[in-house]
Amino acid sequence: MTQTVSADPMIDLSTKIRGGSQTAIARGLTLVERRSDTASQLLAELWRDSGGAHVVGITGPAGSGKSTLVTEVAKEYTERGDKVAILAVDPSSAYSGGAILGDRIRMTELAENRDIYIRSMASRGATGGLSRAVLDGISLLDAAGFDVIILETVGVGQAEVDVMTVAHTVLVVSVPGLGDDIQAIKAGLIEIADIHVVNKADRPGADLTYKQLRESLRLAHRPAGAWDVSILKTTAANGDGVSELIDEVTQHRKWITEHGGLREIEKRNAATRIRWAAEILIAERFRPGVAAFDEAVEALIAREEDPRRAADRLLQELAHDTTDTERGEQ
Residue 88's closest CA among 78, 99, 77? 99
Assess whether 144 and 293 both reside in one domain.
no
Collapsing DSSP states into helix, strand and coil, what is residue 193?
Answer: coil
Which of 244, 261, 278 represents a domain boundary (last residue)?
Answer: 261
Residue 320: domain span: 286-329
Q: Chain centroid to CA 244: how far? A: 24
Kindly state whether residue 294 falls inside one of the protein's structural domains. yes
Q: Residues 224-251, buried b or exposed e (16+ Cβ, 10 A)?
A: eeeeebbbbbbbbeebebbeebbebbee
- Cβ neighbours of 69 (radius 10 Å): 28
pLDDT in single tens digits along all 330 residues of the chain = 445 555 578 889 999 999 999 999 999 999 998 887 789 899 999 999 999 999 999 988 878 888 899 999 999 999 999 999 999 887 655 444 444 444 455 566 677 788 999 998 875 544 455 678 888 999 999 999 999 999 988 766 666 677 778 899 999 998 887 655 455 555 567 778 999 999 999 999 899 889 988 888 888 777 788 899 999 999 999 999 999 999 999 999 999 999 999 999 999 889 988 888 888 888 888 888 889 999 999 999 999 999 999 999 988 888 876 655 555 655
Question: What local confidence, expressed as pLDDT, does residue 161 receive?
Answer: 74
Question: What local confidence, expressed as pLDDT, does residue 113 receive?
Answer: 82
Kindly state whether residue 4 falls inside one of the protein's structural domains. no
Question: What local confidence, expressed as pLDDT, does residue 80 receive?
Answer: 96
Assess whether 109 and 203 both reside in one domain.
yes
Kindly state whether residue 226 falls inside one of the protein's structural domains. yes
Assess whether 205 and 61 both reside in one domain.
yes
Question: What local confidence, expressed as pLDDT, does residue 326 receive?
Answer: 53
Question: Any idea what the CATH number is for the domain that residue 95 is in?
Answer: 3.40.50.300
Question: What local confidence, expressed as pLDDT, does residue 242 receive?
Answer: 98
Residue 157's closest CA among 217, 220, 92, 206? 92
